[in-house]
């Protein structure tokens, strides 16, 4: 009966029969429905907007805030984000995103699900309703991503997915890749059907698709795409009834190309949204979050009302939650920003459920203390004790002609190249001069103790080893190094820390960022995580690594679904052919 009683008091307050909890007086309300700016007041009860009226109530509100004629803009929505990329827990993330005006995150918790499965995911989201922003779930559709080519901690089958889709917090089936459509995978098509059956949508990931592949993808029931790089891609998706999430993340930066095209062609923006997908907290702090997308789009010439709609109403309508979010109107959650301008959003004050959550760029809401359970905090289990000799690649003869993964700095794809290495005492010798080093992927869920082996070009280490437990999407431990003992020490130290990024040299840990939550996230605040991340990067660079973000490179080279090659615990993966391939060229 709780919601009934709440609703009654909201109605009474709207009738002016009982006091509002809060009246925000004198705002310029951005009405995303009629695309008008309205001078009015916002009345709030139980965290919901209940009145939008220029008439002041007779009943004295419990609190009154002067809106100072600022623009009241609906709270911004990130339409698609992998929250794990921030390396922060949801409470710690609040300090980064809420002061920038983001009040709702539609998260696809793919990484957590791969590590900890259904129970872990349910544990992860158990405290989200106490956060000073809203988390809604795009139920991860591919856990594991590449069945048969990797060992994961968790898996979400059709029944698990249905159970998750039934949650109030679930808004969609999470991004599904075209391969599942191309191969007519029963499991994944059943998941789409399950989402639609519940009146929920299915998110796409239509990377590079055109022509009949795109037609089939849309026909399969995928309702959007966040992988558009060109305006032509965007237009092709809109024409097939797919929503397009214009993405601006840390490495994938698509906004300028897409919005420039939209502005140039006068494209209708009704089916366009904004997302970050993957954006590091340092970038969010430096340039902004969804507010950055909105402001950049306006700079590129998009009408501010259209840009704001892309971050609010459009997303809410697309996800069938417009009756709850995406506007400032009676019945909706009282999530909004006060900004001195709409040509450039500045979230001077951010309200979440009618409470002031951030002001002047700082979080003022109190953060919940979430005690994550053991199944999230102890996810790294080595199957058996390791030896230095686990970190060698064995071969016969004096030399080996082998497949090598060639990193492309700043990209998640890589090249497949070949190299000849010396073999000594039956093991392949790292070629420091030509930067061809051994890399290992150690199964870390205590299931089988698999170790996958590969050779990689691009990390540039002259000595020591670097290792991480973030390795998409299986998140086993990956390690690259010159010295077998250092590599063993690195993996053991990571297991001891329950995950993270670290650098080992001379048999000792030089720097570490611990990520004990699923081996993916820290429980520290953003300042601590950023500092430790800088330290561990610097330590890697001091070993000779030329990359700006060596641990991101490490985390993506493990992907069995991004070409050309990937390394899982089962071995080297030829991505385009979906199969494990041997290291030696026969």
Interface residue with its own copies among 56, 64, 162, 196 (CB under 8 A) is 196
- 397 touches its own copies (CB under 8 A): no
- Per-residue binding string, its own copies, 306-345, x by CB under 8 A, is -----------x--xxxxx--x-xxxx-------------
DSSP annotation string for 58-93: SSPPS-EEE-TT-EEEEPEEEEEE-GGGG-S-HHHH
Are the beta carbons of 247 and 297 closer than 8 angstroms? Answer: no
Query: Which residues, 476 to 515, sit near its own copies by CB under 8 A?
Result: none
- Per-residue binding string, its own copies, 351-390, x by CB under 8 A, is ----------------------------------------
Are the beta carbons of 310 and 269 closer than 8 angstroms? Answer: yes
Nearer to its own copies, 50 or 545 (CB): 50
- 455 touches its own copies (CB under 8 A): no
CB of 195 to its own copies, least distance (A): 9
Nearer to its own copies, 327 or 339 (CB): 327
CB of 207 to its own copies, least distance (A): 17
Nearer to its own copies, 212 or 577 (CB): 212
Q: Is 432 helix (H, G, I), strand (E, B) or coil?
A: coil
Nearer to its own copies, 219 or 534 (CB): 219
Are the beta carbons of 541 and 110 closer than 8 angstroms? Answer: no
Q: From the CA atom positions of the chain, what is the Rg in Å?
A: 25
Are the beta carbons of 567 and 451 closer than 8 angstroms? Answer: no
Are the beta carbons of 48 and 483 closer than 8 angstroms? Answer: no
Closest CA to 550 of 562, 538, 558: 538
CB of 124 to its own copies, least distance (A): 23
φ, ψ for residue 7, nearest 5 deg: -60, -40
CB of 90 to its own copies, least distance (A): 24
Closest CA to 297 of 306, 288, 286: 306
Query: Which residues, 141 to 170, sit near its own copies by CB under 8 A?
Result: 168
Longest distance between any two alpha carbons in the chain, whole Å? 92
- Per-residue binding string, its own copies, 256-275, x by CB under 8 A, is -----------xx-xx----
CB of 21 to its own copies, least distance (A): 13
CB of 103 to its own copies, least distance (A): 17
Are the beta carbons of 75 and 104 closer than 8 angstroms? Answer: yes
Q: Is 493 helix (H, G, I), strand (E, B) or coil?
A: helix
Nearer to its own copies, 28 or 267 (CB): 267
Which range, of 26-34, 410-418, 434-442, 500-508, touches its own copies by CB under 8 A? 26-34
CA distances from 448 to 83, 144, 151, 374 (A): 29, 16, 9, 21
At 31, which helix (H) or strand (E)?
strand 22-31
- 190 touches its own copies (CB under 8 A): yes
DSSP annotation string for 307-367: HHHHTTHHHHHHTT-TTTSSS-STTSB--EEEES-SSS---SEEEETTEEEEETTEE-SPP
- 206 touches its own copies (CB under 8 A): no
CB of 226 to its own copies, least distance (A): 17
**Cα–Cα dist 153/558, whole Å:** 15
Which range, of 28-36, 96-104, 133-141, 556-564, touches its own copies by CB under 8 A? 28-36
- Per-residue binding string, its own copies, 168-187, x by CB under 8 A, is x------------xx-x-x-
CB of 63 to its own copies, least distance (A): 18
- 208 touches its own copies (CB under 8 A): no
Strands 102-107 and 224-225: unpaired
Closest CA to 351 of 582, 73, 569: 73
Nearer to its own copies, 267 or 295 (CB): 267
Which range, of 27-35, 379-387, 447-455, 554-562, touches its own copies by CB under 8 A? 27-35
Query: Which residues, 217 to 256, sit near its own copies by CB under 8 A?
Result: 218-221, 223, 235, 238-241
Closest CA to 150 of 189, 115, 121: 115
φ, ψ for residue 578, nearest 5 deg: 50, 45
The residues binding its own copies (CB under 8 A) are 3-4, 7-8, 10-16, 31, 33-35, 38, 43, 45, 48-53, 55, 168, 181-182, 184, 186, 189-190, 192-193, 196-201, 211-213, 215-216, 218-221, 223, 235, 238-241, 267-268, 270-271, 317, 320-324, 327, 329-332
């Amino acid at each position: 009966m709780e919601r009934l009683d709440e609703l009654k008091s909201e109605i009474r307050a709207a009738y002016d029969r009982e006091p509002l909890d809060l009246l925000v007086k004198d705002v310029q309300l951005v009405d995303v429905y009629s695309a008008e700016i309205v001078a009015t007041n916002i009345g709030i009860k139980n965290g919901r907007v209940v009145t939008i009226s220029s008439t002041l109530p007779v009943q004295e509100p419990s609190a009154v805030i002067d809106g100072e004629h600022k623009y009241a803009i609906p709270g911004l929505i990130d339409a698609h984000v992998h929250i794990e990329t921030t390396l922060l827990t949801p409470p710690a993330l609040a300090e980064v995103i809420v002061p920038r005006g983001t009040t709702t995150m539609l998260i696809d918790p793919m990484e957590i699900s791969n590590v900890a499965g259904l129970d872990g995911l349910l544990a992860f989201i158990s405290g989200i309703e106490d956060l000073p922003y809203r988390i809604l779930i795009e139920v991860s559709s591919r856990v594991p991503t590449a069945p048969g080519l990797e060992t994961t901690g968790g898996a979400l089958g059709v029944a698990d997915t249905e159970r998750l889709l039934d949650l109030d917090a679930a808004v969609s089936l999470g991004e599904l890749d075209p391969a599942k459509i191309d191969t007519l995978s029963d499991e994944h098509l059943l998941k789409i059907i399950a989402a639609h059956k519940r009146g929920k949508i299915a998110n796409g990931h239509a990377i590079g698709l055109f022509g009949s592949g795109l037609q089939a993808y849309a026909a399969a029931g995928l309702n959007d795409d966040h992988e558009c790089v060109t305006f032509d891609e965007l237009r092709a998706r809109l024409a097939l009834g797919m929503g397009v999430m214009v993405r601006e993340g840390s490495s994938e930066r698509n906004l300028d190309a897409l919005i420039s095209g939209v502005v140039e062609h006068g494209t209708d923006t009704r089916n366009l949204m904004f997302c970050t997908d993957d954006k590091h907290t340092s970038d969010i702090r430096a340039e902004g979050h969804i507010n950055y997308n909105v402001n950049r789009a306006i700079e590129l010439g998009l009408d501010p009302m259209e840009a704001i709609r892309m971050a609010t109403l459009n997303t809410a309508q697309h996800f069938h939650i417009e009756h709850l979010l995406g506007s400032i109107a009676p019945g909706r959650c009282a999530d909004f920003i006060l900004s001195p301008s709409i040509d450039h959003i500045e979230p001077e004050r951010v309200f979440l459920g009618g409470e002031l959550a951030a002001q002047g760029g700082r979080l003022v809401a109190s953060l919940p203390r979430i005690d994550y359970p053991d199944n999230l905090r102890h996810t790294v289990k080595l199957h058996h004790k390791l030896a230095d000799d686990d970190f060698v690649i064995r071969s016969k003869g004096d030399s080996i002609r082998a497949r090598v993964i060639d990193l492309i700095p700043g990209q998640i794809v890589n090249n497949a190249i070949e190299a000849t290495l010396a073999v000594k005492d039956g093991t392949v010798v790292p070629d420091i001069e030509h930067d061809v080093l051994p890399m290992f992927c150690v199964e870390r869920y205590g299931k089988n103790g698999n170790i996958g082996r590969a050779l990689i070009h691009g990390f540039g280490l002259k000595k020591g080893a670097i290792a991480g437990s973030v390795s998409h999407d299986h998140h086993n431990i990956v390690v690259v190094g010159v010295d077998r003992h250092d590599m063993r020490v690195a993996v053991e130290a990571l297991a001891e820390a329950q995950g993270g990024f670290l650098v080992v040299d001379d048999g000792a840990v030089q720097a570490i960022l611990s990520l004990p939550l699923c081996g993916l996230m820290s429980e520290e605040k953003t300042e601590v995580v950023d500092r430790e991340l800088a330290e561990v990067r610097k330590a890697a660079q001091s070993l000779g690594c030329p990359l700006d973000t060596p641990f991101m490179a490490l985390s993506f080279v493990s992907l069995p679904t991004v070409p050309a090659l990937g390394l899982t615990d089962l071995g080297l993966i030829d991505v385009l052919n979906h199969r494990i391939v041997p290291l030696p060229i026969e």
